[in-house]
Amino acid sequence: MEDILSRAKKAAEEENEAMKTCYFCQGKVVNKRIRHVHHWGDEIVIFENAPAEVCTQCGEVYLSPEMLEMMDKVTLERTPPDKSIAVPVFSLP
């Protein structure tokens, strides 16, 4: 658990060195820790302190392939989370 998380984080941080401008608006992209809401079918998994690149202009978030892979793996394998929160759902008629 610890392992796969820190490996993805390391790979993400290394990759973040390469990309500097936003694909969509050519704005400046900076390294940030974000709270990423990962959707997997009907499931929602939240990753806190996820390293990502975020455009300072349009807010587009870039996640590395390693991060995405780790998120899918952790979700699929139902790795025990650090904590769980209840998420309210409102269904519109």
Q: Which of 12, 22, 70, 74 binds Zn ion (CB under 5 A)?
A: 22
Whether residue 71 contacts residue 37, with contact meaning beta carbons closer than 8 Å, is answered with no
Determine the straight-line distance between the first and last CA of the chain, rounded to whole angstroms. Answer: 41
**Which residue, 20 or 33, has its beta carbon nearer to Zn ion?**
20
The residue length of the chain stands at 93
Which position's Cβ is nearest Zn ion? Answer: 22
Q: Which of 27, 34, 68, 79 binds Zn ion (CB under 5 A)?
A: 27
Distance from C-alpha of 64 to C-alpha of 75, rounded to nearest angstrom: 17
Angle at 19 between CA 57 and CA 8, to 5 degrees: 110
Stretch that binds Zn ion, among 7-15, 27-35, 71-79, 84-92 (CB under 5 A): 27-35
Q: Which of 4, 25, 34, 68 binds Zn ion (CB under 5 A)?
A: 25
Distance from C-alpha of 5 to C-alpha of 50, rounded to nearest angstrom: 9
Q: How far is the CB of 26 from Zn ion (least distance, A)?
A: 7
Binding site for Zn ion (CB under 5 A): 22, 24-25, 27, 55, 57-58, 60
